[in-house]
Chains A and B, each alone.
Chain A
Amino acid sequence: MSTEHSTADHGHGAKGHHPHILPLKVYMGVGSALFILTGVTVGTALFLNLGSVGNFVLAMIIATVKASLVALFFMHLLYDNKIYLTIFIGALVFLSIFILFTMADTERRGDIYPAQAIPIEHPTIYGLQPENNPISHASHGEEGAAHGGDESHGTDAGHDAADSDDHGETPAKADGH
């Protein structure tokens, strides 16, 4: 039975169908191209400076070329029924809408009400006051957080005892080694 087909049509038999088999060279070629493009990505990121936006755009372009090669050849989208390609592109379209609309909002915060554009300065975790906050005390490590956990018992009115116990234990767990 012939194993290499040059057409994109699948056989139409009631009992079986003839798979479309790509020549080995295609897989080797695409694989090599992917390896080379990976090298290009790393090389341009480490040694080429186009500014932060330029580098980002270039990295995304190279990643998209690689992804297209994988999708069109390894995942057979170039040769299969176009419905699969439509479904895949559809997913990418909706993902683009998702990210673009979200970023359009994120980038414009503070345009109308500047007071609300303040970045997070002291992350309040589970309502801990800044002096009891383990992240503000990152350089002190366990001691600050453990003592902070104990102290917050009396001062925070609506504060759960379970939360501060959790923070008392967690630093010891994280720095256990």
Chain B
Amino acid sequence: MDQSASADHSHGGHHPKLAHHFNDMQQQHESLKMGVWLFLVTEILLFGGLFCFYAIYRAMHPEMFVNAHEYLDVRMGGINTLVLIFSSVTVALAIRSVQQNKSKQAVTYLAITLVCACVFLVIKYFEYQAKFEHGLLPGKYFRNADVVGTDPQIFFSVYFGMTGLHGLHVIFGMVFLTFLLIQTHRGVYSSEYYTPVEMGGLYWHLVDLIWIYLFPLLYLIG
């Protein structure tokens, strides 16, 4: 079965990946893209709720936030930021490669993106491990008498809630990117049909966007 860019198909001569409720590939591409953007809106509002949670408690406990954030490792957070930015570049280049019908190159870029995501999660694991060792846990599990300020467990609730949910999104993104990698390797995508790769890329860029805001708000306070 011809899965590449050929337009010949047993019924009607359209691209095999054109769903029948669309007039043409252009319309399908634009519709799918709008769907992804609407989904990204829901993600922005999801994390937005958590950012609001951050804002409220930081306003109520400004000194405690400054003191508690000293227990976060800025180097690890900074490296994670650079890793995610780099992965955004590689996923964008992967889309670009598919647009140019260079599947092998696209597979390479997607693989690098996945490796970056793994590096991000590994660094995050070490960060979390350091927190667990010092009893810096969220909410009622907090066990550290050294942090100065009222209710320091609140900061760590914010920290684990936001970075944890973000980490989950990284994992979901990795699952989809792996699917895209396999499909690209099989030659399913081309310059005529690269929409799923672009959708995965948009999601991944959003994950990067959220981290771009999380990093200064959690690691670089005052």
User: Measuring CB to CB, which residues of chain A are less than 8 angstroms from any residue of chain B?
Assistant: 1, 3, 10-19, 21-22, 24, 27-28, 30-31, 34-35, 38, 41-42, 45-46, 52, 55-56, 59-60, 62-63, 66-67, 70-71, 74-75, 80-81, 83-84, 87-88, 90-92, 94-95, 98-99, 102-103, 106-107, 119-121, 123, 125, 134-135, 138-139, 141, 167, 170-171, 174-175, 177
Chain B residues within 8 Å of A134, by CB: 140, 143
Q: Contacts A1-B191, A70-B205, A99-B51 known; A21 to B143 CB distance under 8 Å?
A: no
Give Cα A117 to B30, complex, Å.
Answer: 51
Cβ-defined partner of A31 (8 Å) among B86, B99, B144: B86
Chain B residues within 8 Å of A1, by CB: 191
Binds A, one of B115-123, B131-139, B159-167, B177-185: B131-139
A-contact 0/1 string along B198-222, CB 8 Å cutoff? 0001100110110011011100111
Contact present for A74 and B88 (CB under 8 Å):
yes
Give Cα A18 to B24, complex, Å.
Answer: 13
Chain A residues within 8 Å of B76, by CB: none
Cβ-defined partner of A75 (8 Å) among B45, B99, B145, B205: B205
Give Cα A28 to B90, complex, Å.
Answer: 10
Cβ-defined partner of A103 (8 Å) among B23, B33, B56: B56
Contact present for B52 and A102 (CB under 8 Å):
yes
Q: Contacts A42-B74, A45-B216, A63-B212 known; A75 to B202 CB distance under 8 Å?
A: yes
Cβ-defined partner of B135 (8 Å) among A38, A56, A60, A174: A174
Task: Return A107 CB to nearest CB of chain B, in Å.
Answer: 6
Chain B residues within 8 Å of A167, by CB: 140
Give Cα A103 to B192, complex, Å.
Answer: 48
A-contact 0/1 string along B57-70, CB 8 Å cutoff? 00111100010000
Contact present for B7 and A38 (CB under 8 Å):
no
Confirm or deny: B176 has a beta carbon within 8 angstroms of a beta carbon on chain A.
no
Give the A-B contact count at a CB cut-off of 8 A.
Answer: 182
Q: Contacts A99-B48, A103-B55 known; A91 to B5 CB distance under 8 Å?
A: no
Contact present for B59 and A107 (CB under 8 Å):
yes
Chain B residues within 8 Å of A17, by CB: 24-26, 29, 192
Cβ-defined partner of B100 (8 Å) among A3, A63, A95: A3
Q: A70-B209, A103-B55 are in contact. List 12 more A-B contacts (CB 8 A).
A: A14-B24, A15-B7, A15-B14, A38-B81, A42-B220, A45-B220, A87-B37, A91-B40, A95-B44, A102-B55, A167-B140, A174-B137
Give Cα A103 to B55, complex, Å.
Answer: 7
Contact present for A119 and B140 (CB under 8 Å):
no
Q: Taking CB as reference atom, which chain B residue is nearest A62? A: B216
Cβ-defined partner of A135 (8 Å) among B7, B15, B142: B142
Cβ-defined partner of B52 (8 Å) among A11, A46, A98, A177: A98
Give Cα A106 to B145, complex, Å.
Answer: 28
Contact present for B25 and A16 (CB under 8 Å):
yes
Contact present for B26 and A177 (CB under 8 Å):
no
Chain A residues within 8 Å of B45, by CB: 91, 94-95, 98
Task: Return B125 CB to nearest CB of chain A, in Å.
Answer: 15
Contact present for A171 and B143 (CB under 8 Å):
yes
Give Cα A34 to B41, complex, Å.
Answer: 23
Give Cα A38 to B5, complex, Å.
Answer: 40
Specify which of A19, A66, A94 lies most central, judged by the most chain B CB atoms within 10 Å of its CB.
A19
Confirm or deny: B168 has a beta carbon within 8 angstroms of a beta carbon on chain A.
no
